[in-house]
Structure 1
Amino acid sequence: MTSEIIFDFNKISTTDNWKVVDDAVMGGKSSGSFFLDPNGKGVFVGYVSLENNGGFSTVKYSFDRVSTKGFSKISFKVKGDGKMYQFRIKRKSDDKYAYIKYFTSSEGWETFQLTLSEMYPTYKGRQLDMPNYDQDGIEEVAFLIGNKKAEDFKLEIESIVLS
């Protein structure tokens, strides 16, 4: 087993299982959106606001469980805006916490490869006193921006793959 595609965007991709969650769930004013561009890439774009104690926007993709047995890394190809983002995975989509790793995007296409065992658990921005990712499957991946400043953002996504 060399790789397992979690999502590979193309011109006929559906974004039905992709969902934006902003700080509006707690009274904030950030606004993100997600759509498929004419080239078939997923585009996560919007504005992070610090009003009303806000400060984040997330796009998440939930799917039927994918086994991580035999895989040690997860990679994603993105084109960003030079800003820092979190990549997040959840063992079960209804888990309250996620395993995360930060990355800083550039304005060109690049592939980030993260080691699953280096992703650490957080809940509401706080690291939990639990082991790093050591599970056997995932049901959700997400990208989050929340850099403690008001800012526009744009992250284009081409693919997410286990290897």
Structure 2
Amino acid sequence: MSSTTILYQFDKNSPSRDWRVVDDGVMGGRSSGNFYVNESGNGVFEGFVSLENNGGFSSVRYREAFQIQDQSTIRIQLKGDGNKYQFRVKANSYDRHSYIAEFTTSGEWETIEIELTTMYPAFRGRSLSIPNFDKDQIEELAFLIGNKKEQEFHLEIKSIQLI
């Protein structure tokens, strides 16, 4: 029987400063993401993705080291807006690449489950010729939206677990 590790559990006292927004502004783009904890105690990642100045993404990231024991799945409780998002992990926070899984939200509260071994490596939107996630630790969690179109977005997150 595998154990459960809470990677992040939001509540009304969760400090939003734990999470850092990184937009395409790092490359000259004009997208604008925001992150806060709402009155219900959920993390909210929202904003606008702009394609202006070769932009097109917004992300929010959390860094902390977690050891993977006998777990193999990420379980996320969230409520999206019908948009497609990426959930990303880094085994080492200094790696340039991330391991990615895409999911489309339904507009309702739902539980997304992602097998770690299905998360593929990519850097700057390009898949890499290295194995899918096969590490024994995670040092960064992230959500990203970048669907090659201008759009508003709103993603509410309750919890992220490793099961």
Alignment match, 1:48: 49
Deviation by residue 1:65-121 (Cα, 9 ceiling, x = unmatched): 111121110111110000000000000112100000100011110010000001010
Deviation by residue 1:95-150 (Cα, 9 ceiling, x = unmatched): 10000010001111001000000101000000000000000000110000000000
Alignment match, 1:155: 155
Within a 5 Å distance, the mapping from 1:1-163 to structure 2 comes to 1-63=2-64, 65-163=65-163
- What TM-score, normalized by structure 2, do the two folds share? 0.98
Q: Cα RMSD (Å) of the superposition? A: 0.7
- The secondary structure found in structure 2 opposite 1:70 is coil
Distance 1:29 1:14 in 2: 26
Percent identity over the alignment is 52
Provide runs of 4+ in structure 1 moved above 2 Å.
none
Deviation by residue 1:27-75 (Cα, 9 ceiling, x = unmatched): 0000000000001000000000000000000001111x11112111011
- What TM-score, normalized by structure 1, do the two folds share? 0.98
- The secondary structure found in structure 2 opposite 1:77 is strand
Distance 1:16 1:151 in 2: 25
Distance 1:127 1:69 in 2: 27
- Structure 1 unpaired stretches of 5+: none
Question: Following TM superposition, by how much is the alpha carbon of 1:2 offset from its aligned partner in structure 2, in angstroms?
Answer: 1.8
- The secondary structure found in structure 2 opposite 1:52 is helix
Q: How many residues align?
A: 162
Distance 1:77 1:6 in 2: 12
Distance 1:47 1:86 in 2: 16
- Structure 2 unpaired stretches of 5+: none
Query: 1:101 is aligned with what amino acid?
Result: A
Question: Following TM superposition, by how much is the alpha carbon of 1:14 offset from its aligned partner in structure 2, in angstroms?
Answer: 1.2
- The secondary structure found in structure 1 opposite 2:17 is coil
